[in-house]
Chain A
């Protein structure tokens, strides 16, 4: 296999990795907020269920969760979920749990004075949350979110466990078939560039939010 073929093969794998990355973020960022609400709910049973969910998601390996999402339904009920969907679903469920805890930390760190000022001014509860609290929470949690997002770039490689041909899976197979380590080198460079782009974007967002303190 020529070097060019190898690069183009791995670039296709990179596209899959990027797809996993983006869909996971689009799904888990909003879902994480809902989970955070559940975690902070005054309704105890809901709070407990969410707590258990978060503790399982954070207490077991993501690889195992992906296997459960993909193989579990097929073995129990004979439902076959497409591989790619299973990966996205598993990753969203996992990352939503992590994001939920980050949101919760951010929301709970907000000074009570902000709520009180909004209440006295007559803001409704949802106005208070959406206009006053959430934007500030977002700024507070951005560094932690950045950490997770960069971890996510690397976690896309875990899709191998259900044989989704993302970049790392492909690199491994090409390396074995062609008896060379070059695919890993190329994949490493691709991952690094991918993360560099992500880091630059996150840094820009942080800078955009630095207009206040």
Chain B
């Protein structure tokens, strides 16, 4: 029976450890060695993903690293579940969402945003041999889109209502990976997604897919902070602008071109 007692003691000890693990959130101590925690979902190349060595990489993460370098902050990359991004932000577990984060109309008032640094478009990807060449050809076809994505909200917006009405079916998928499997298998005819993502997916899959020339919507990416956290936003935005002017942003961006980043989409560079 001694074993049982030991087990109970262990449990109590563990609970104590769990409790003592409680600490003030990182966001509260704006002192000397500030930690800047960036939230991203690591599933959104080329902005934030896991590279061939299993490390986090991405254009947005590289920008964040440069910002922290210049400010003397310590960067902490926190992979999050996209669905929990608001809870993570509100609980102070992350300082910002920086992950190809679309500043849509509905989100505009929900976060404190930097100015947009990427102007992205929502496009349609089809198989080369699909015979689909324009948005009009999508009539009666099955179109797939990632659940909760900007492409979905674009398709569901009033601007696209006429187009969407012509689709045979609009299906939602959990991730693009599965979406491409379906496209490959012919169970869907087209996928709607961000142009950057589309370029990356097509490049890594070795071609075979085409992006329609007509975009279904254009959108912008910015860094989102907790609503009202303007001081932090301005600090980061200032450095971001600086990086755009002195050419650093372009330098960083060029490293991600082969991952599908479209230099033309960087709207701070002009």
Contacts and interface: CB of A to CB of B under 8 A. Distances in A.
Contacts of B17: 85
B54 interface: yes
B15 A174 contact: no
Interface in B7-23: 7-8, 10-11, 14-15, 17-18, 21-23
Interface residue SS majority, chain B: mixed
Given A29-B7, A30-B8, A79-B22, A177 B91 contact: no
A173 B43 contact: yes
Interface string A179-203: 1110000000000000000000000
A154 interface: no
Contacts of B204: 178-179
Given A5-B52, A75-B90, A176-B44, 12 more contacts: A2-B52, A5-B53, A71-B84, A75-B87, A82-B21, A89-B18, A162-B81, A176-B42, A176-B45, A178-B50, A178-B204, A179-B201
Interface residues of B, number: 47
B49 A177 contact: yes
B168 to A, nearest CB: 26
Nearest to A69: B18
Contacts of A167: none
A89 B49 CA distance: 29
A29 B177 CA distance: 39
Contacts of B14: 23, 26-27, 88
A81 interface: yes
Contacts of A105: none
Given A30-B4, A74-B92, A1 B175 contact: no
Interface residues of A, number: 47
B177 A78 contact: no
Interface in A30-78: 30-31, 34, 67, 70-71, 73-75, 78
27 contacts: A1-B53, A2-B52, A6-B54, A8-B54, A34-B8, A71-B87, A74-B90, A74-B92, A74-B93, A78-B28, A79-B24, A80-B92, A85-B21, A92-B11, A130-B1, A134-B4, A163-B79, A165-B79, A172-B43, A173-B50, A173-B79, A176-B43, A176-B49, A177-B42, A177-B43, A179-B176, A179-B180
A161 interface: yes
Contacts of A181: 177, 181
Contacts of A5: 52-54
A199 B123 CA distance: 49
B131 interface: no
Interface string B159-202: 00000000000000001110011000000000000000000010
Contacts of A85: 17-18, 21
List the 10 closest pairs (A to B, CB-CB), nearest first: A74-B91, A177-B49, A176-B43, A9-B54, A177-B50, A1-B52, A80-B25, A71-B87, A173-B42, A30-B8
B68 to A, nearest CB: 20
Contact of B91 (A6, A75, A178): A75
Interface of A: 1-2, 5-6, 8-9, 23, 26-27, 29-31, 34, 67, 70-71, 73-75, 78-82, 85, 88-89, 92, 130-131, 134, 160-163, 165, 169, 172-181
B252 interface: no
Contacts of B176: 176, 179
B69 interface: no
B70 interface: no
Contacts of B177: 175-176, 179-181
Contacts of B35: none
Nearest to B80: A163
B78 interface: yes
Nearest to A6: B54
A67 B181 CA distance: 31
B50 A174 contact: yes
B11 A31 contact: yes
Contact of B93 (A29, A31, A80, A177): A80
Given A160-B81, A181-B177, A80 B18 contact: no
Contact of B4 (A1, A6, A31, A130): A130
B217 to A, nearest CB: 22
A110 B247 CA distance: 77
Contact of B11 (A26, A131, A162, A175): A26
Contacts of A81: 18, 21-22
